């Protein structure tokens, strides 16, 4: 009986197992059937691949408008495409592109399943988009985003494309359509545009540079950021070596080759070329290069042509010589963040790197307002006095020693208000140690600084790890100009297609970043900087608040200033960085010299043109606010020593000081 019982029990278990297997097979059959029907129905919606070449002829011109409705430029991407046969593309360029974008291109059937799994598991840094998938998107305007249905459609089209044509033809189509930046589609256009030669003549180093740009043309374009382009090129070369496409010796030789571009002038907008390029790169990142160059867009921007002309004139009048340092200027409306004017350098055709939006330099004392805001938020009074003598304090990585500009104010005490007027380093060093660098970083980020900031005490004097751009500084100071409300910079108000349908519209809104009372208090102190401190060259006969900044060895000079309805940041320095400005037009370049002069000339010309009676200034600095009355003494100060000027001092400014602040000594340096 026992053996029979075991036999019956065992057979029951097998029956249950068989039933479970049958159920699983049934579910699998249903899943496969449903998936098959889904794929069949989806395949019926796929476009005819025979019509693919027609997509190349469907380009429509995109038009970019200024705020007054005038045309800034037109983009014709397809006009710059030059189609070449795969036989005219050197093997090193083909290999570079395959290594950079799809190393298993010659092994898969259109979709790289291994790369897909790696991307899903987070083990593949190269992504799952094969060259064939990218070509499908280029041919049929299939976007990268979308749900499962969109991705399955693209995969089916990639399989279909490879079933109907050879790998060589797929690669040829891709090389002729892919975007390489600066409006250049296809390898032939890119080779001639960047190197002044046909694609057939490209070297290994040049081929890897072009291949590297495909992943992010706005980031890795050699005309936009040569250093980033070279780093990416070297990554491609290393991958080619790992894949056995080149030898180690070839890699070493190519890595040692400097990035050298043709001297041919780039096509640029005749009006505000740096601003137009800034808008272009934003739209490419948001909508894709195909839509920007061939989609017939209508782009409505914030640029005010009158303000732009005023900015360019101010820069050219102060620094006219080709050997002069370059100047970047960006102006915003602090009430809504609209970019009104942008000067990114002296000559866009010669250098497309935008010093106003992309250039990140040390701000020097122009960073002190963020320390000031943090201090005011934590109850520090503007009338509290601080020791002005040189300051040494132990920090986590040693000792921090701070002296004042040209060793001025070596003894005595000053109020925080006066120390701000004269940008006294020792006072601000003591202040940040009291308030804490973490609170300063927090204030700066709330106000609009987006570059990385480390909470080190040296940031009180503008000692940053990465630097900041004039665009960021204008945006952050604009928070004070608007009474503590921060509006991120906006360059594009809306984008429509050529039939008027809205594709994108700006939705940014002001956000409370600083208490109104703190913003008003800080603005009042920064007004004194312009009225009787280091920023007197920016006086324009109406209320202006601002701050100067000069970095070590006079390598960077800043003035950032604002009224209630306009904020502008001006930077002066050399494009190649780390170049001292010790003798420009006979003076050392400080923030209170050329930058403040440029700001003053720009604001004098631009503000009347920007006046809008329907939008009165309501921020911390009202347009009609009069300067505060006080018993002041007019004196001439040597900008080199901050002592009373003698007749031989080369750089002098006239200020009005409280009697207690008048220097007791006359300059003996000159």
- pLDDT for the residue 288: 84
507 and 616 both lie in a single domain: yes
- pLDDT for the residue 578: 84
Instruction: With beta carbons less than 8 A apart as the criterion, state whether 236 and 228 touch.
Output: no
How many domains in the chain?
Answer: 4
413 and 553 both lie in a single domain: yes
- pLDDT for the residue 456: 92
Backbone angles phi, psi at 569, to 5 degrees: -115, 135
Residue from 273, 385, 312 nearest 602 by CA: 312
Estimate the crossing angle of helix 148-164 against helix 2-43, to 10 degrees. 70
CA torsion sign, 168 to 169 to 172 to 173? negative
pLDDT along the chain (670 residues), means of 10: 50 68 56 42 44 47 93 74 84 95 85 55 52 81 55 77 83 88 84 91 96 90 88 96 95 94 63 94 87 89 97 97 96 97 93 92 96 97 92 87 74 88 93 97 98 94 92 98 96 93 92 96 95 94 95 95 96 92 95 97 94 51 41 70 79 65 78
Q: Where are the beta strands (DSSP E) in 284-334?
A: 298-301, 326-332
List beta partners, residue 496.
298, 502
644 and 596 both lie in a single domain: no
Write down the residue that tokens 């298993």 correspond to: 104
End residue of a domain, out of 613, 628, 643: 628
- pLDDT for the residue 53: 45
Q: How many CA atoms lie within 13 A of 670 on its CB side?
A: 19
Any domain includes 340: yes
d(CA 212, CA 101): 9
Instruction: With beta carbons less than 8 A apart as the criterion, state whether 130 and 158 touch.
Output: yes
Tokens, residue 364: 């020097």
> What CATH number should be reported for the domain holding residue 179?
1.10.3810.10
d(CA 329, CA 602): 9
d(CA 395, CA 397): 6
Tokens, residue 467: 């630097």
425 and 537 both lie in a single domain: yes
333 and 482 both lie in a single domain: yes
End residue of a domain, out of 255, 276, 293: 255
647 and 617 both lie in a single domain: no
Any domain includes 298: no
Residue 198: how many other CB atoms lie within 10 Å? 16
Any domain includes 278: no
408 and 356 both lie in a single domain: yes
Tokens, residue 188: 């032939």
**pTM, entire model:** 0.70
The contacts of residue 614 (CB under 8 Å, 6+ apart) are none
List beta partners, residue 385.
415
DSSP annotation string for 361-393: B--GGGGHHHHHHHHHHTT--TT-EEE-S-EEE
Domain range for 658 is 629-670
7 and 132 both lie in a single domain: no
DSSP annotation string for 651-668: SEEEEEE-GGGS-SSB--
- pLDDT for the residue 38: 40
**CB-count exposure of residue 564 (10 Å: 0-12, 13-18, 19+):** buried
Any domain includes 276: no
604 and 660 both lie in a single domain: no
Backbone angles phi, psi at 133, to 5 degrees: -60, -40
CA torsion sign, 284 to 288 to 293 to 297? negative
End residue of a domain, out of 231, 255, 279: 255
d(CA 73, CA 79): 15
Any domain includes 233: yes
Residue 576: how many other CB atoms lie within 10 Å? 7
Any domain includes 577: yes
Any domain includes 472: yes
529 and 552 both lie in a single domain: yes
Tokens, residue 531: 């009225």
526 and 392 both lie in a single domain: yes
Q: What is the 3-state secondary structure (H, E, C) of 338-356?
A: EEEEEECCCCCCCCCCCCC
Tokens, residue 509: 């809104």
The contacts of residue 575 (CB under 8 Å, 6+ apart) are 326, 345, 351, 353, 355
Burial 75-113 (b: 16+ CB within 10 A, else e): bebbebbbbbebeebbebbbbbbbbbbbbebeebebbbe
Residue from 653, 463, 445 nearest 555 by CA: 463
Any domain includes 265: no
Instruction: With beta carbons less than 8 A apart as the criterion, state whether 421 and 443 touch.
Output: no
Tokens, residue 329: 């200027």
618 and 639 both lie in a single domain: no
């Amino acid at each position: 009986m026992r053996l029979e019982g075991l036999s019956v029990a065992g057979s029951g278990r097998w029956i249950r197992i068989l039933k479970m297997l049958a159920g699983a097979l049934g579910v699998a059959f249903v899943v496969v059937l449903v998936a098959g029907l889904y794929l069949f129905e989806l395949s019926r919606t796929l476009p005819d691949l025979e019509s693919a070449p027609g997509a190349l002829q469907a380009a429509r011109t995109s038009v970019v408008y200024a705020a007054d409705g005038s045309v800034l430029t037109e983009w014709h991407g397809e006009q710059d495409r030059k189609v070449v046969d795969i036989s005219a593309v050197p093997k090193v360029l083909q290999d570079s592109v395959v290594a950079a974008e799809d190393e298993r291109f010659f092994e898969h059937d259109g979709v790289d399943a291994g790369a897909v799994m790696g991307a899903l598991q987070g083990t593949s840094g190269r992504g799952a988009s094969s060259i064939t998938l990218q070509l499908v998107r280029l041919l049929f305007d299939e976007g990268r985003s979308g749900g499962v249905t969109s991705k399955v459609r693209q995969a089916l089209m990639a399989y279909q494309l490879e079933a109907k044509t050879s790998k060589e033809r797929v690669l040829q189509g891709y090389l002729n359509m892919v975007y390489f930046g600066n409006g250049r589609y296809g390898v032939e256009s890119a080779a001639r545009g960047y190197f002044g030669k046909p694609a057939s003549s490209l070297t290994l180093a040049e081929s890897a540079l072009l291949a590297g740009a495909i992943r992010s043309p706005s980031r890795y374009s050699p005309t936009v950021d040569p250093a980033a382009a070279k780093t990416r090129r070297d990554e491609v070369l290393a991958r080619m070596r790992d894949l056995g496409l080149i030898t180690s010796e070839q890699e070493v030789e190519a890595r040692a080759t400097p990035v050298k571009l043709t001297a041919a002038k780039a096509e640029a907008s005749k009006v505000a070329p740096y601003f137009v390029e800034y808008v272009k790169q934003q739209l490419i990142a948001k909508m894709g290069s195909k839509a920007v160059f061939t989609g017939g867009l209508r782009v409505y921007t914030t640029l005010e042509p009158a303000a732009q002309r005023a900015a360019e004139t101010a820069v050219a009048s102060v620094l006219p010589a080709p050997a002069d340092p370059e100047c970047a200027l960006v102006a915003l409306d602090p009430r809504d963040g609209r970019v009104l004017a942008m000067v990114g350098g002296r000559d866009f055709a010669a250098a497309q790197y935008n010093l106003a939006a992309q250039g990140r330099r040390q701000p020097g004392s122009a960073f002190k307002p963020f320390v000031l805001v943090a201090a005011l938020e934590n109850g520090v009074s503007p009338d509290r006095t601080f020791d002005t003598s040189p300051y040494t304090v132990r920090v986590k990585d040693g000792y921090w020693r701070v002296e004042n500009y040209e060793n001025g104010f070596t003894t005595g005490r000053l109020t925080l208000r006066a120390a701000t007027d004269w940008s006294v380093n020792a006072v601000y060093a003591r202040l940040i140690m009291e308030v804490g660098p973490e609170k300063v970083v927090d204030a700066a980020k709330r106000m609009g600084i987006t570059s990385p900031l480390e909470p080190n005490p040296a940031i009180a004097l503008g000692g940053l790890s990465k630097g900041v751009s004039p665009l960021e500084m204008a945006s952050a100071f604009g928070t004070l100009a608007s009474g503590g409300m921060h509006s991120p910079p906006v360059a594009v108000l809306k984008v429509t297609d050529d039939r008027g349908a809205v594709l994108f519209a700006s939705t940014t809104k002001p956000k409370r970043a600083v208490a109104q009372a703190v913003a008003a208090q800080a603005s009042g102190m920064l007004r004194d900087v312009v009225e009787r401190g280091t920023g007197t060259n920016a006086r324009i006969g109406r209320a202006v608040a601002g701050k100067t900044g000069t970095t070590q060895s006079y390598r960077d000079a800043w003035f950032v200033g604002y009224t209630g309805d306009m904020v502008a940041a001006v930077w002066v320095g050399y494009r190649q960085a780390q170049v001292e400005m010790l003798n420009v037009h006979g003076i050392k370049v400080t923030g209170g010299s050329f930058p403040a002069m440029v700001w003053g000339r720009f604001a004098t010309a631009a503000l009347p043109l920007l006046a809008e009676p329907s939008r009165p200034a309501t921020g911390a600095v009202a347009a009609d606010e009069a300067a505060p009355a006080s018993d002041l003494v007019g004196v001439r100060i040597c900008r080199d020593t901050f002592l009373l000027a003698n007749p031989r001092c080369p750089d002098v400014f006239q200020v009005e000081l409280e009697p207690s602040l008048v220097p007791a000594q006359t300059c003996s340096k000159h």
